[in-house]
Chains A and B, each alone.
Chain A
């Protein structure tokens, strides 16, 4: 196992230098080395989506992405979600619809919804279903749907 010294990661518009073993998933660099614990660990196997972050605007399950492969890319975690216009609207909709229960999956849900709406501002129901597969053991799916449906509706004329 190689140790990677001085890996430079661009997270939330900041540059971080980290020393980690080269197979370390991005998730554990974010949580352990950098203390950004809003991104959660649920399965470590790309099954649940709790670890979702944005890498160059695309939603990624950070538990299976080696940190090395994120070098040179723009990473956004839940901590900076409100600095993004779409992310801010997503959070607002989450509050309006009172989505979270235990909350553990919700960072990932918000990231996945933000990524979808950034790429496709007015997704259809099928597009939403295809894009968002994050698990929620508390079963907040109806509330998530309601929040995303609200956001997916064209607003005024400038949709």
Chain B
């Protein structure tokens, strides 16, 4: 990015800029110069304008979304936050397509809070998650681009005094062919964006056949900045006069700080400004974070049992052991509540011979999000009482409501900024006691200074809410070479009910997804949940319930195949024969792997290898995976992964490929290495040393095939993950000649 001119810098430095939009633009285009520096800009103009203006349907108020600079850069406010999934690029591609403007000209930012950005059709208004961004907003965002294009045409027609029907657009310009005149969008923007937005029904969308960018693997808009350290995350931001803060959390939720035994000494440590008791922790404030952290670690706090419980916060028992909890789940015998049924399993099971029945119990583990950017928040109270706050989040308006409640101020007195995320995977939703902002607000109030609170990795791993664990009892009857009945009972707590409250009359769909929703033709099925409340705080994690359940189901599928004396690929094929979409997907992955061979076979390097196969249907997309593994020095080595995905309709194949590879990495990390272990009520691992995540040398080559079936658009960010763990474990079990029913594989040393 080019450096700012003197004049532009002067404009930036103004206390109350006349043209806030222009100033926002300067800030974003200044890259590193402005990136690290956040000026308090007050309520952005467009936000004020939107609030004052008449109500319009979300996603139609063009000036709330778009600014175009005289030099033809297009600044788009995205309703969805970028965290590596490529959504800023997809938004530029979709809006650019209908606006007729090159996506590469776009500068995309995360939109402020407000009704205009609640664009998710049939969804929760606005949040980034569930692989829902594009599929819930595709038509709306296309329409937005089309409306903006219409405004450009209208402005040009006004300026030239010619009928609009004589005008056409080419990327970034309006053209009057007969007089051979052109105007760039940058030249038209100031007039165009002041025109009334036409009725959305009056503009039509492009014929997909004519798409110039949608469907193409165009470059992402933020890759260069991210390659040279110029992308700014919450943790990088700074406001004038700000102090830093670090915390020492209560070792267990449900404890509160009593006496601080060495308070005087800590207050006297170098650089320490002050020490404060805050919600769930003791905090140290200092001009520099390192000084705050060193002091926070030195605190000797008498942690005492709380006399009251905060809403939604669970008390962690002092003797909690995750291993014992998992064993307890595995030993349960309750029948659970039906989540999905077909036919009559009890009839089949009671008629079947004992030899035709197999059963097994699978166990899944707690895992961390372990996104690389530790959570942080900047909170600043302005003299007029308004609160300005910067924090990583996947749902700005939900956070706004919660912040207003906590700070005791009206929502319109809060300016909330949602910077890009250094990874998220479900980490940045509203989870009680799992985000730094309540503490940052308390500290800003207590000190009267802007506060930037960063949770160290250690404090993060103590409060990161976990992907649930489960023990799943599987039972099947195999007759005449096919499964005739299947019963699945998962003893677990789903993330949905853990966060929003358990409904005794219903099953949490997220607890059982991946056990339910399978397409194999099995006549008699019962999928059930045996609800067991956890003492831990639980969360969504990339691909949610599917991340653990497809492992269970697809591994047991191979057990059913073994029992039937069938090849696991052949049995899948047979049970999907009436499903052309999934049959095709299965064929695609097999073909990309050069045909199906289960092994074991000896590879060119002399290693003995096997392959496993698995499928999943999460978030409206379908995936199939083949993994090739060997055992090296007692541990599983994954050599290659082939994955095919059918997301129905696609926007950017390059992003899909990158997201599938990313999901494969996380799936491998989970199945090979990851497990959060609690002993005596505390997590054993507080950093990556004891909680290893997939390192580069364990990443296999991943081959992605994309099938565009033309069906309804499905998700992209998450569906690549679920079939990976079972494909790996199916290969390992076959290679070993015995079944592995528990993740991660690093629990065992293999001969």
Using a CB–CB distance below 8 Å, which chain A residues touch chain B?
Answer: 1, 3, 20-21, 23-25, 28, 31-33, 35-45, 47-48, 50, 77-79, 81-82, 91, 94-95, 98-107, 110, 129, 132-145
Q: Which of B223, B232, B290, B373 contacts A98 (CB 8 A)?
A: B223
Q: How far is the CB of B272 from chain A (nearest CB, A)?
A: 10
Q: How far is the CB of A142 from chain B (nearest CB, A)?
A: 6
Q: A28-B289, A99-B227, A103-B226 are in contact. Are A35 and B238 (CB under 8 A)?
A: yes
Counting CB contacts under 8 A, is B139 at the interface? Answer: no
Are A37 and B693 neighbours in the complex by a CB distance under 8 Å? Answer: no
A41 to B424, alpha carbons, bound, how many Å? 16
Which chain B residues numbered 218 to 249 have a C-beta less than 8 Å away from chain A? 219-220, 222-233, 235-236, 238, 244
Are A102 and B421 neighbours in the complex by a CB distance under 8 Å? Answer: yes
Are A98 and B220 neighbours in the complex by a CB distance under 8 Å? Answer: yes
Contacts of A47 in B (CB 8 A): 687-689
Are B372 and A35 neighbours in the complex by a CB distance under 8 Å? Answer: no
4 closest Cβ contacts across the A-B interface?
A38-B229, A139-B665, A103-B226, A102-B84
Known: A99-B227, A145-B696. 11 other contacts (CB 8 A): A25-B290, A41-B454, A43-B687, A94-B223, A101-B86, A102-B423, A102-B424, A137-B423, A137-B425, A137-B693, A139-B699
Contacts of A43 in B (CB 8 A): 457, 687-688
Q: B362-391 toward A: CB 8 Å interface, digit per residue (1/0)?
A: 000000001111100000000000000000
A145 to B665, alpha carbons, bound, how many Å? 14
Q: How far is the CB of A36 from chain B (nearest CB, A)?
A: 8
Are B699 and A98 neighbours in the complex by a CB distance under 8 Å? Answer: no
Q: Which of B227, B244, B294 contacts A100 (CB 8 A)?
A: B227
Are B688 and A135 neighbours in the complex by a CB distance under 8 Å? Answer: yes
Q: A20-B288, A102-B422 are in contact. Are A95 and B224 (CB under 8 A)?
A: yes
Counting CB contacts under 8 A, is B510 at the interface? Answer: no
Q: B402-446 toward A: CB 8 Å interface, digit per residue (1/0)?
A: 000000000000000000111111000000000000000000000
Contacts of A23 in B (CB 8 A): 294
Q: What are 12 A-B contacts defined by CB distance under 8 Å?
A: A1-B269, A21-B294, A23-B294, A28-B290, A47-B687, A98-B219, A100-B223, A101-B658, A102-B372, A104-B233, A135-B693, A143-B658
Contacts of B86 in A (CB 8 A): 101
Interface SS of chain A: helix, strand, loop or mixed? loop
A29, closest chain B residue (CB):
B290
Counting CB contacts under 8 A, is B661 at the interface? Answer: yes
B contact residues, total (Cβ < 8 Å)? 68
Q: Which of B36, B226, B236, B271 contacts A106 (CB 8 A)?
A: B226
Are A77 and B229 neighbours in the complex by a CB distance under 8 Å? Answer: yes
Contacts of A77 in B (CB 8 A): 229
Q: How far is the CB of A76 from chain B (nearest CB, A)?
A: 12
Contacts of B658 in A (CB 8 A): 98, 101, 140, 143
Q: A21-B271, A98-B223, A102-B422 are in contact. Are A33 and B288 (CB under 8 A)?
A: yes
A43 to B371, alpha carbons, bound, how many Å? 11
Are B36 and A35 neighbours in the complex by a CB distance under 8 Å? Answer: yes
Counting CB contacts under 8 A, is B69 at the interface? Answer: no
Are B372 and A50 neighbours in the complex by a CB distance under 8 Å? Answer: yes
Are A81 and B422 neighbours in the complex by a CB distance under 8 Å? Answer: no
Q: B657-674 toward A: CB 8 Å interface, digit per residue (1/0)?
A: 010011111100100000
A127 to B195, alpha carbons, bound, how many Å? 61
Q: B26-63 toward A: CB 8 Å interface, digit per residue (1/0)?
A: 00000010011100000000000000000000000000
Q: Which of A41, A81, A104, A139 contacts B664 (CB 8 A)?
A: A139
Counting CB contacts under 8 A, is B695 at the interface? Answer: yes
Q: A133-B696, A135-B372, A139-B661 are in contact. Are A38 and B289 (CB under 8 A)?
A: no
